[in-house]
Amino acid sequence: MALKKKPVTGMKDILPAEMQIREFVTNQIKETYRGFGFSQIETPCVEHIENLTSKQGGDNEKLIFKILKRGEKLNLETAETENDLVDGGLRYDLTLPLSRYYSNNAAQLPSPFKALQMGSVWRADRPQKGRFRQFTQCDIDILGDPTSMAEIELILATTTALGKICPDNAFTVRINDREILKGMALHCGFPEESLDQVFITLDKMDKIGLDGVEAELLELGYDENSVKTYLELMDTVTKDAAGVRMLGEKLADTLPKSVTDNLAYIMDTVTDVAETKFGLVFDPTLVRGMSYYTGTIFEVSMEGFGGSVAGGGRYDKMIGKFTGQDTPACGFSIGFERIVMLLLENGYEVPTVKEKKAYLLEKKMTKEGLLKVMSLAKTDRQAGKQVLIVNMKKNKKFQKEQLAEDGYIEIVDCYADSVENL
């Protein structure tokens, strides 16, 4: 039986044209983030199953690629539960591994620690356009800084990177705070024990709209007056820093004013010092699904793309799950695959690609002629060109058309009887 040519469902082969864009985007991101003082690290792709299932990853914990125990530890005959068979899994994001990494290496790291990560993650999700089971994430995190400087730097670094990669696409940063979400809901009369359910519904705002959220909350049995007051509050608050401060005054009964003052300060500072032009708005409906967020949360929407292209927030409780002591932490992740897909769909051409030159060798080329061509190619490479040496095909016209499509702007025919004249 013939071996299977297609990749495993949810995975994909990456062709040279896409790979070129991916490398360009990767280099732009790394260069930008290093300019903001972030240091690149790497964590294993496999994590302890106990860590992956610690109720930190929300719905992602349902999508883990689990790994069987190995060798003598794997005993199918005596196994009674899944835990008897599994002890590891592929990471579903980079945040959880980073928290373990920091917990294990904090004594050897500066404080605060500014981490840069780029790597593959895996989720057993339903494949669809732009969504694969293996994909690349690109994260920056600041660990050990409890102040708003962490959020400010993360927003500035991420928007600067996006501005370099997609200079022609307008984008907007939406920002909120999980404490504000909680304060608004309590102020409107929702019971505290039901807030998770309320926020799950609110998180559907982009899909079902304000009317849909209202209908679902009423269907769940919440007080009609609470629902009406809640949605009116969201609809009436202005989306700037002044609106955040005003909201803080309205929520004095359920929320410390310092929370809204801090968010307003972040917005004002980012607006004043941003290196890239973008929109910054307060979005009281922004929830973000990961259960580990504890404070500020943000997402980036971009012109030409329906969903978010970046997101993150503060997660001050996660590292404490490993160490027993809470550590301030805040991160921002660029949706690498979504950015690449957007650039591909727009026919993006990498501006920094080397000039490409091809030498086509006649099949009866002599050894001396080959050495001549090799010497010319060496000189071209030293001059910064990308050089290809291939044998001439019978259908030379079609061969040249293919090379031209691949970006080879100079193609040289090399014949044995005239190679010395090149």
Residue 306: both structure tokens together: 């329906």
| Helix (H) or strand (E) segment spanning residue 299 | strand 296-302
Contact 396, 360 (CB under 8 A): yes
Show pLDDT as tens, one digit a residue, over the chain (422 residues).
789 999 999 999 999 889 999 999 999 999 999 999 999 999 999 999 999 998 877 778 889 999 998 877 877 777 777 888 889 999 999 999 999 999 999 999 999 999 999 999 999 988 877 678 999 999 999 999 999 999 999 999 999 999 999 888 889 999 999 999 999 999 999 988 888 888 888 888 878 888 888 898 898 988 889 989 988 998 889 999 999 999 999 999 999 999 999 999 999 999 998 888 899 999 998 988 767 889 999 999 988 777 789 999 999 999 999 999 999 999 999 989 989 988 888 888 887 667 889 999 988 888 888 888 899 989 999 998 889 999 999 898 898 888 888 888 899 999 888 888 87
- Label residue 351 exposed, middle or buried (CB < 10 Å: 0-12, 13-18, 19+): exposed
CB atoms within 10 A of CB 287: 21
pTM: 0.85
